[in-house]
Structure 1
């Protein structure tokens, strides 16, 4: 059964094809299609051999585009043919009985014909508009759905597919999605591939997705690693954890903090990742600069998808990061951040000014992206007006409005929100949808928050999860 993330190579104008493909395979590519017609045969043969070896190292399938003779020479796993290429029967005679043949199609009739000719899979597209094709070549999701009903072989959706589009294609019935520029043109192919590859987790049974939280302990149980594990577990994923600090705190505030030695933090981190692994990582309180830098290095080396909650100030006003940690967060961790989730005071700490309007939030978010964060969610709970969050999703700006609840029992909101986002990403939701679901979840948790202790009580993880999971079939 052919399934998983399918990568098609670009024209290698920058000469970095092997490096980009290696990174993308690390990020989760399962099928690689080598497309190269306009280079010398000897160079093409050498590159194909090197790519085939990379695929073997990562247990990925290697497919050659259009050239069954080359596929046979390098012992590729198969060949992909277009409508104007040689018949599948002829290609089968060249590559052998046990190899894969894929055929591009644009409608139900072509897909049925490809299946009848012996295609092992059918590529259908262009699903969305692409920069290289005009409007007439777009077949859309409706055609994908029709083809899915008509043929029994696996389907690969191709053409203009963003992560959000890939999610739609998979929901419509595709077994795989083929990406070119979405990975090959990205400055970080490994992380781009990881973002796409996580989408295939949607079909897995619960607990669905593995989420690693790297954070401090809240002895009061409302925030920190305790809130993260509650959130991840109640929403249906598997939680692992790395403790960075112990705090003596309750609803009235933090009375003392005991940092965990950096070497032991890293021992925890490496031990978990070497065995269990993680689909996503959520960071919270990182205590001091040495921990921040070494955690950032691990995220970089292992191409992890990190949701970073820059825990800088406690609810009672106590500083939770020293200056060295602040500097390391900006210089080392932000460039490795998939999603940064600061509140307005944290934005002020990171950028030097605290936004007071939505326009200023956008300006600050762009600055944080310039510092390295791939995407930014600025939480607007401290605004004097509506509780509006802004998601800067690459170049796109998404406004997320929510109801403001009159309660001072909001301990753990930031930890819970970021943990929920990391959970939904690990479960196979694209970022915008993961953030929307997480915002709804935290809204329920705030609405049902309860008083315990004498200060700021916690949000209600259990009540929110029970209602959210009850509503989930309708939401999906």
Structure 2
């Protein structure tokens, strides 16, 4: 298995500082990807935030992926987008607009559908209990292992992942993990990411 990637999911409502400051720190620390997930914003506010986030990420050679606001991505002519599964069902030709398209899924059947609709990766959860969606039952590592065995596209785990439990993913054949609250709230972004990377990929 190759080294697993670390992906940040933004959440300005849970961030310890300005979201753009946090994005800059994550990008400078060489995180593999940042998904700009700010569903509580209006489309106009998300547009302004996206322009700045993309500028910051580009300056540090970090991949920024827009989320939820498809029209913003299209207005910006931006090729990297992450959708929820309902959006993918609503527009089954979503991939034609984007170079990289990811989607959030919660079952093997949804993984299969995402593959059929030419998505480039899936984000699956919630693996552990998560403050983002406390009403959702966590699915656990056995569920993740089963999905990983049967996924034809890269799979990223999400939900309650932090530096303390990230090592449990070492031997599971996934592309990487996504983290939200832990990366929004940690005091020292660079050292926290180093710890995550070492615990996730000890042999690299």
- TM-score w.r.t. length of structure 2: 0.86
- Residues 380-459 of structure 1 aligned to structure 2 (within 5 Å): none
Larger Rg: 1
Match of 1:284 in 2: none
Evaluate the alpha carbon distance shift between residue 13 and residue 184 of structure 1 in structure 2; reply closer, same or farther with a 3 A threshold. closer
Which among 59, 63, 66 is matched to residue 65 of structure 2? 63
* Counterpart check, 1:7 vs 2:33: no
Of residues 29, 49, 52, the one that matches 1:50 is 52
Partner of 1:91: 94
- Secondary structure of 1:160's aligned partner: coil
State how 1:95-114 maps to structure 2 within 5 Å.
95-96=97-98, 99-114=99-114
CA distance in 1, matches of 2:133, 2:18: 25
Aligned mates of 1:43, 1:26 — CA distance in 2:
24
Residue 461 of structure 1 corresponds to: none
Tell me the residue number matched to 1:418.
Answer: none
Q: Which residue number in structure 2 is paired with residue 82 of structure 1?
A: 84
2:132 is equivalent to residue 128 of structure 1? no
Distance 1:117 1:76 in 2: 20
Mapping 1:288-327, distance limit 5 Å: none
More displaced stretch, 21-30 vs 154-163:
21-30
Task: Structure 1: state its 5+ residue gaps.
Answer: 205-476
Per the alignment, residue 23 of structure 1 pairs with 25
Evaluate the alpha carbon distance shift between residue 46 and residue 136 of structure 1 in structure 2; reply closer, same or farther with a 3 A threshold.
closer
Does the alignment pair 1:145 with 2:145?
Answer: yes
**Deviation digits for residues 325-358 of structure 1 (CA, Å, limit 9, x no counterpart):** xxxxxxxxxxxxxxxxxxxxxxxxxxxxxxxxxx
Aligned to 1:117: 117
1:13 to partner: Cα distance: 6.5
- Give the total of aligned pairs: 201
Long gaps (5+) in structure 2: none
Q: How many Å apart are 1:142 and its aligned residue?
A: 0.7
What displacement does 1:41 show? Answer: 2.8
What secondary structure sits across from 2:130 in the alignment?
Answer: coil
Q: Provide the C-alpha distance between the structure 1 equivalents of 2:138 and 2:93, rounded to a whole number of angstroms.
A: 29
- Cα separation, partners in 2 of 1:16 and 1:151, compared to 1, 3 Å: same
- Find the counterpart in structure 2 of residue 158 from structure 1: 158
Deviation at 1:56, TM superposition (A): 1.2
> How many angstroms does 1:29 deviate by?
1.1
Indicate conservation of the 8 Å contact 1:2/1:121, yes or no: no
- Residue deviations 1:346-378, cap 9 Å, x none? xxxxxxxxxxxxxxxxxxxxxxxxxxxxxxxxx
User: C-alpha separation between the residues in 2 aligned to 1:194 and 1:76?
Assistant: 30
4+ residue segments displaced more than 4 Å = 12-15
Relative to structure 1, the CA distance from residue 77 to residue 59 in structure 2 (aligned partners, 3 Å threshold; closer, same or farther) is farther
- Once the 2 structures are TM-superposed, how far is the Cα of residue 65 of structure 1 from its aligned partner? 1.1
